Amino acid sequence: MFGKSRKILSALLAVVMALGVGSALAGCNNDKMPEGKTVKLEISPFNGGYSLEWLEAVIAAYEEVRPEVYIKFSEDIVSRDDQVTEIMSGVSDYDIYMTGMNLHGKLYDGLPVVDISDVYEAIGDKINPAVVNWYNHDGKQYALPWSTSVLGILYHKDMFAKNGITVPRTTEELIAAADKINEVRGNGDGPYAFSYCSRDNYWSYLFNPWFAQYEGIKRYEDYWNCIGINGRQYDKSVVGYDGILRTLEVYETLLKPSNNYNHPSSKDSRFTDMQIHFLDGDTAMMVNGDWVVSETMKSGNYEIEESADVAFMRTPVISSIVETMELWTENGREYNKLSSSERAAYDAKLVAIIDAVDSGATSLAGVSDNDFKRVAEARWITPTMADGALTMIPSASKNIDEAKEFLKFMYSDAGIKAYNSNIYGTGLPVDYTQSEIDGLTGDSALLKSAYEMLSGAYLTFFWGGSDRVFSQNGLTPTWHQSKIYLDCFAATNPSDYRSAQDYYNESCTHIAASWDSVFMRNV
């Protein structure tokens, strides 16, 4: 029997080997240049939520303009770390890398990539200025974004309309909407307010916009240039920005287990599962990125690209912003110490200003110019993950000039058109007119809302800042060695739970203790 088993196994192995050899010979990768082509470019794209139809389209459009160029790319590059290893090694078969992670910190380690400042010059003023600033490293540009990745809170329009819920304009209204959803659900099987994925921390996408709204763009940028509240750069007082604590307080309310706002599966499931819960109407809202269009299209279960129901809401303005405005009259008191009626009164004033901003007004009777401008600025802050979608040319590329031409083309009118028509998400980070938006978005409420959030907005980036202290040494507003704030606020175990104030205090202690040894290394 044993001998017979071996014979059977040997026969099976022989068949498999034959099939494998046969397939390998039949499908041999022919790396020869096609006829008529004299230049070859190889692109290493990160194949994530957006797929690569947009890249195929841009390449096809480029090859029409430059018929002598042959461009090759692989659909199977799914490891961000391998891309980083290849670039860091300084030897590479690829001419262009389109990564899926923030590599700005690696520039300080001497990441061997080409200076593409001339590409930026050729593209001109098209690109959103926040992108140009963020990608600047020591006065030069080393990367272009290949995606904007607009982030925000998705919601079901029909569910809101059916239950008489106004689209939240402030975080107080967001919490009120969540309370209303809880009321609708009661003790039955109805929807929850939010779904999120604990493993991927999608809630954290809103940290920077809320922080920026509270502090204002100038102070927000000061923070990410590591300027402390005393005006000195690389000073420990950088932890003293009140916007950090105020943002944590919003999260504390949204995630507190006793508020029961979040779908029970949020802590244990993958992000795609939580997307399904949201799209199935098990939850009313979900923080997500515009890549959800592509991901759900590929699943074949939803027609989200034609849906008039699911859309982004403009990021609600953090209600405690009123503390920083001239209309605040509670000297010595903090916003979160006010009674609910007092907070409601301030929020009503804030909502009135927001409505005026949304209607296109430039002022509002009874509101100072400074306050109006503060709210207008806050209303037009849009979170993105463009800092994680870097297009770089490795120094080892044998076709640097051609690679640069390709990048210039990608941001030309023809390139943008090819890209935008084939990306199942928002287009590149440039401005769009309303007619362009209508042409690109069709019936999709989600894409329309994403484009509207993008145009003319101040963009915040998920990883925040490119200064060495942040990108290389790891400082973040809520740095804590072992506890992530979202998990602490959502913890049911009392020993793991932290209030916003406690978490903030612990975070400041950790930052202060590690300031010289960790964060000020090489500064």
Stretch that binds other proteins, among 47-55, 132-140, 148-156, 246-254 (CB under 8 A): 47-55
Which residues, in sequence order, are CB contacts of 197 under 8 Å at separation 6+? 266, 269, 270, 271, 273, 274
Task: Identify whether the C-beta of residue 418 lies closer than 8 Å to the C-beta of residue 60.
Answer: yes
Task: Quote the CA–CA distance of 319 and 330 in Å, as a whole number.
Answer: 15
Task: Quote the CA–CA distance of 211 and 383 in Å, as a whole number.
Answer: 11
Nearer to other proteins, 5 or 481 (CB): 5
H or E segment and range at residue 251? helix 242-255
Task: Identify whether the C-beta of residue 113 lies closer than 8 Å to the C-beta of residue 98.
Answer: no
- Site string (83-122) toward other proteins, x via CB under 8 A: --xx-xxxxxx-----------------------------
Kindly state whether residue 12 participates in binding other proteins, applying the rule CB under 8 A.
Answer: yes
Place of tokens 């939803």: 302
Kindly state whether residue 19 participates in binding other proteins, applying the rule CB under 8 A.
Answer: yes
**Among 45, 48, 388, 465, which residue sits at the site for other proteins (rule: CB under 8 A)?**
48
Stretch that binds other proteins, among 80-88, 342-350, 429-437, 451-459 (CB under 8 A): 80-88
CA distances from 111 to 103, 107, 371 (A): 9, 5, 44
Nearer to other proteins, 73 or 335 (CB): 73
**Among 13, 161, 361, 512, which residue sits at the site for other proteins (rule: CB under 8 A)?**
13
Kindly state whether residue 14 participates in binding other proteins, applying the rule CB under 8 A.
Answer: no
**Among 64, 65, 74, 523, which residue sits at the site for other proteins (rule: CB under 8 A)?**
74
Nearer to other proteins, 24 or 361 (CB): 24
Kindly state whether residue 2 participates in binding other proteins, applying the rule CB under 8 A.
Answer: yes
**Among 9, 33, 344, 523, which residue sits at the site for other proteins (rule: CB under 8 A)?**
9
Nearer to other proteins, 19 or 361 (CB): 19
Least distance from other proteins to the Cβ atom of residue 15, Å? 9
Which DSSP string do the residues of 358-382 spell out, in sequence order?
HTT-S--TTS-HHHHHHHHHHHTEE
Least distance from other proteins to the Cβ atom of residue 27, Å? 5
- Angle at alpha carbon of residue 241, lines to 367 and 334, rounded to 5°: 55
Place of tokens 């929850």: 192
Place of tokens 């210039």: 408
Instruction: Find, among 84, 108, 62, 82, the residue nearest to 415 by Cα.
Output: 62
Kindly state whether residue 23 participates in binding other proteins, applying the rule CB under 8 A.
Answer: yes
Kindly state whether residue 34 participates in binding other proteins, applying the rule CB under 8 A.
Answer: no
Least distance from other proteins to the Cβ atom of residue 180, Å? 25
Least distance from other proteins to the Cβ atom of residue 194, Å? 16
Instruction: Please give the span between the terminal C-alpha atoms of the chain, in angstroms, as a whole number.
Output: 71
Strands (E), 387-480: 390-392, 458-461
Task: Identify whether the C-beta of residue 284 lies closer than 8 Å to the C-beta of residue 194.
Answer: yes
Task: Quote the CA–CA distance of 208 and 140 in Å, as a whole number.
Answer: 25
Least distance from other proteins to the Cβ atom of residue 19, Å? 4
Kindly state whether residue 298 participates in binding other proteins, applying the rule CB under 8 A.
Answer: yes
Question: Judged by CB under 8 A, how many residues of this single chain contact other proteins?
Answer: 48
Kindly state whether residue 76 participates in binding other proteins, applying the rule CB under 8 A.
Answer: yes
Task: Quote the CA–CA distance of 269 and 256 in Å, as a whole number.
Answer: 18
Nearer to other proteins, 144 or 310 (CB): 310
Kindly state whether residue 21 participates in binding other proteins, applying the rule CB under 8 A.
Answer: yes
Q: What is the largest CA-CA distance in the chain?
A: 95
User: CB count, 10 Å around CB of 216?
Assistant: 18
Instruction: Find, among 35, 43, 48, the residue nearest to 407 by Cα.
Output: 43
Task: Identify whether the C-beta of residue 183 lies closer than 8 Å to the C-beta of residue 459.
Answer: no
Nearer to other proteins, 295 or 405 (CB): 295
Kindly state whether residue 283 participates in binding other proteins, applying the rule CB under 8 A.
Answer: no
Chain residues 220-279 in contact with other proteins, contact rule CB under 8 A: 269-270, 272-273, 275-277
Stretch that binds other proteins, among 12-20, 306-314, 477-485, 506-514 (CB under 8 A): 12-20
Nearer to other proteins, 40 or 483 (CB): 40
Identify residue 256 by its one-letter amino acid code.
Answer: K
Nearer to other proteins, 171 or 296 (CB): 296
Least distance from other proteins to the Cβ atom of residue 231, Å? 37
Which DSSP string do the residues of 96-163 spell out, in sequence order?
EEE-SS--HHHHHTT--B---HHHHHHHGGGB-HHHHHHHEETTEE--EES---BEEEEEEHHHHHHT
Classify 432 as helix, strand or coil: coil
Interface residues with other proteins (CB under 8 A)?
2, 5-6, 8-9, 12-13, 16-17, 19-21, 23-24, 27, 29, 47-49, 51, 74, 76, 78-79, 82, 85-86, 88-93, 269-270, 272-273, 275-277, 280, 294-296, 298-301
